[in-house]
Structure 1
Amino acid sequence: MYGFSIFMNTDLNETKRSYLTKMANRGFEGIFTSMHIPEDDVKLYKKRLIDLGGLAKANHLKLMVDISGDALSRSGFSFDNLAELKALGVTGLRMDYHISNATISKASQDITISLNASTITQQDIDELQANHANFDQLEAWHNYYPRPETGMSHDDFIEKNKCLRQHGFKVMAFVPGDADLRHPLYLGLPTLEAHRFLHPLAALMDMERMSVDDIYIGDGGLKEMTARQLSHYIKEQTVLLRGRAETADFSYVLGNHANRQDAARDVIRSATARFKAIPEIRPENTSARHKGAITIDNCDYGRYMGEIQIVKKDLQADSKVNRVGQIIAEDIALLDYIGAGQKFRIENEKQND
């Protein structure tokens, strides 16, 4: 499942309402929010959570609320009345620090509880079992890390997830957004440090390789084009790439493709390109191919004429290969995650202006 974040540092204005509705229509199924951000005014959380919960229900979205210590009571709620939260549209509580395993166990009888995946220990699991927690309602959600250089490494993340899987936990993690970055640092909210400044879709596709069930956008927004790319991937399993024309033959590469099942090391090869009816391709712009170059084999390549490729690493010039376009810089990172059989679509960058 894929989700996104809506933070309660401001009222749920029209911009946030519109973003929430668009994200629901784009295939996202859950919202994450927090009730213990130090910079926020907790006195305003109750009204804002009521508004957010109502909109979540109206759009059939799950709503996970991050809490710690006395965050619930300070906001006007109580562990003794979780039915009130559920009635508002809250479907889960993420328990951070200063909440006992006894309290967590009791709450798990009534509502989905997510534990801090990054810090949970065997002792915690033993205490939860001793307190008869409902493990069918327990999930493991990783942290996001606002401060640069503090996110997890791939190796530690994978190892932690193996342990969580052994105990039957469903695992969730965050990837960064690229708009409405969260105050006060505005430097992304990833679980993995390597994802901090990565294209959100590239981070999401990388995350999918590491035994994760749910992936949420950590930051409070996505650029319109990024959201569209994520929607294409979520709903159609297609990676949307924007290209810049370099020759008139660029029109031949536009549209839907799939990487061949026998994926090449150096290039992404369109599995359907040579089945398209195209005129003879004469040699043109046979210059060096840098990463992201979009190419068509010309008539000097014999039966390979018409093959369409996207270059994954810098390659030297080949007189038999025409460079007809270039993937724009913002989308280059996506190429590293187009594996065997992956569908992709090339669009002219100008149609997205």
Structure 2
Amino acid sequence: MRQLGISIYPSHASLEENIAYLKLAHKYGFKRVFTCLLSIEGDKDKIVKGFKDIIVEANKLGMEVIADVNPRVFGELGINYDDLSFLNDLHVYGIRLDIGFSGLEESIMTFNSYGLNIEINMSSGGKYLENIMSYKSNTEKLLGCHNFYPHRYSGLNYEHFIQCTKQFKQFGIRTAAFVSSKYATFGPWPVNEGLCTLEAHRDLPSKVQAMHLFATGLIDDVIVANAFASEKELKDLSEINKEKLTFDAILVDSIPEIEKKIVLEEFHFNRGDVSDYLIRSTQSRAKYKGHEFIPFNSPDIKRGDLLIDTSLYGNYAGEFQIALKDMKNSGKTNVVGRIIKEELFLLSYIEAWQKFAIIENK
């Protein structure tokens, strides 16, 4: 089951603010919590207590906390890869290794006696994962999570992201990636120009970033990397259909009732004999056979337009389509709405037999 998550940075906000944020995210069904031990400085006992207080509150809400660590943090906190009792005492669900060990250590950690999950960095590629797997790791306790990038232009290239993620999915490992809130003001580091995994996401709404990650079919969990996301962002994220691409669209004012029902209420899937020009959902042709679809809005067609063929097209009358390219309109097709511009690029993820839906953006 795909999940949503938030990030908590105890040293950057008060305990009360962090707990309020946890409760708000929980209200909207968020299950995961990322936190970062990499930037700890100062009184270690005090800092660790601050983390533990947050983790205890998250656990009370049924949320799963994973703490980011690396070999340096292990040394500073006196943690050994074959004794994770310190981390167990923090009551975390698992740890994320931002920088790893040799592969053998990670493998041994997946068999820790506390049942802690070991999450490894997915963004670097190479043979790191294969090396860990060569040591006969316990994949039931192995997770993968990409990095986030606070510096503009430093985020992952899409092709590299896909390549790295596929390495993990081929072993059946659960995967995660980060999206950025437009309203959040901080992360773990002083630089904060957005906090996303993919550079292409940096200026997109968090909802669209998450929709894209889920649409790849390769990411199981999406985590908001910076804090604090707005309530509207959390609500919008919670309303995403994680299994089926659901586009926001603006409908034309003149759309008749039947055409509106076709767009918003029919079960849509793209035909198997795919077109370069159209996503075609044809079930409405049979359902509304005999209904007269009258031309009322037939301008030339732009990519992202929602289309319904009129009765002038004979057997095609009532067929619902989404334009993939700009086209001339014969005058026989009504333009009944349009996908919002931020989501247009997601049309490329509708393949043969792919299910999808449309909701009205008001």
In the superposition, the TM-score normalised over structure 2's length comes to 0.75
2:350 aligns to what?
Answer: 338
CA distance in 1, matches of 2:264, 2:234: 19
Residue pair 1:248, 1:324 contacting (<8 A) in 2 also: yes
**Distance in 2 between residues matched to 1:242 and 1:258, nearest whole Å:** 15
Flag the 1:314–1:67 CA change in 2: closer, same or farther, 3 A: same
In 1, distance between residues paired with 2:172 and 2:24?
Answer: 30
Cα deviation, residue 149, structure 1? 1.9
CA distance in 1, matches of 2:328, 2:297: 13
Cα distance, 1:16 vs structure 2: 0.8
Q: Could you tell which deviates more after superposition, 289-298 or 257-266?
A: 257-266
Provide the secondary structure at the position in 1 that maps to 2:314.
Answer: helix
| Structure 1 segment 142-161 matched on structure 2, within 5 A | 142-161=146-165
Give the Cα–Cα distance (whole angstroms) in 2 for the partners of residues 39 and 334 of structure 1.
42
**Alignment partners' CA distance in 1, 2:343 and 2:264:** 15
One-letter amino acid matched to 1:79: I
Indicate which of 61, 64, 67 corresponds to 1:62.
64
SS in 2 for 1:32: strand
Does the 8 Å CA contact 2:103/2:128 hold for their aligned counterparts?
A: no
Within the candidate set 36, 55, 68, 1:53 is matched to 55
- Correspondence 1:90-129 to 2 at 5 A: 90-97=92-99, 107-108=109-110, 109=112, 110=114, 111-119=116-124, 122=127
Could you say which residue in structure 1 is the equivalent of 2:269? 259
Q: Which 5+ residue runs of structure 2 have no aligned equivalent?
A: none
Deviation of 1:90 (Å): 0.7
**1:4 is aligned to 2:5:** yes
Distance change (3 Å), C-alpha of 1:342 and 1:4: same
The answer on whether the counterparts of 2:6 and 2:34 sit within 8 Å (CA) in structure 1 is yes
Decide whether aligned partners of structure 1 residues 17 and 120 sit closer, same or farther in structure 2, where only a CA change above 3 A counts: same
What does 1:67-78 align with in structure 2 at a 5 Å threshold? 67-71=69-73, 78=78
> After superposition, what is the alpha-carbon deviation per residue over 1:165-219, rounded to whole angstroms, capped at 9, x for unaligned?
67x4725342423344453554333323233334545544544537445443434
Aligned match for 2:337, one of 322, 325, 347: 325
CA–CA distance in structure 2, aligned partners of residues 335 and 150 of structure 1 = 26
What residue number does 1:176 align with?
179
Please tell me whether the aligned partners of residues 35 and 45 of structure 1 are also in contact (alpha carbons under 8 angstroms).
no
Do residues 79 (structure 1) and 82 (structure 2) align? no
Alignment match, 2:36: 34
- Are the counterparts in 1 of residues 35 and 65 from structure 2 also a CA contact under 8 Å? yes
* Counterpart position of 2:313: 301
Cα RMSD, aligned residues only: 3.8
Number of residue pairs the alignment of both structures matches: 341
SS in 1 for 2:308: strand
Q: Verify the 8 A CA contact 2:247 2:339 in the aligned structure 1.
A: no
Amino acid across the alignment from 2:317: M
Q: Is the 8 A contact 1:259 1:342 kept in 2?
A: yes
The answer on whether the counterparts of 1:268 and 1:310 sit within 8 Å (CA) in structure 2 is yes
Measure the CA separation in 2 of the matches of 1:248 and 1:79.
64
1: CA distance between counterparts of 2:41 and 2:291?
62
> What runs of 5+ residues in structure 1 fail to find an aligned partner?
none
The Cα shift of 1:30 comes to 2.1
The SS at the match of 1:194 is: helix
CA contact (8 A) 1:292 1:310 kept: yes
CA change 1:123–1:272 in 2 (3 A) is closer
Deviation at 1:63, TM superposition (A): 1.3
Tell me whether 1:233 sits opposite 2:241 in the alignment.
Answer: yes
Q: 2 CA distance for matches of 1:137 and 1:162?
A: 18
1:53 corresponds to which letter in structure 2? I
Give the partner amino acid of 1:342. K
Q: Which moved more, 1:253-262 or 1:319-328?
A: 253-262
Cα deviation digits, residues 58-94 of structure 1 (max 9, x gap): 33232111123554687xx652674454355411111
**Hey, what's the Cα distance between the residues in 2 that align with 1:39 and 1:328?**
45
Q: Counterparts in 2 of 1:126-137, with a 5 A limit?
A: 136-137=140-141
Q: Take 2:167 and 2:233, find their aligned partners in 1: how far apart are those partners?
A: 37
Residues 93-148 of structure 1: per-residue CA shift (max 9 Å, x gap): 11224867676566442422222233476579768977x97565333332111212
Q: State the distance in 1 between where 2:287 and 2:14 align.
A: 53
**d(CA) in 2 for partners of 1:301, 1:226:** 44
1: CA distance, partners of 2:40 / 2:90: 24
SS at match of 2:160: helix
Q: Is the 8 A contact 1:189 1:218 kept in 2?
A: yes
Report the Cα distance in structure 2 between the residues aligned to 1:177 and 1:190, rounded to whole angstroms: 5
In structure 2, the CA distance between the partners of 1:204 and 1:261, relative to structure 1 (3 Å rule), is farther
Percent of aligned positions with the same letter in both sequences?
Answer: 25
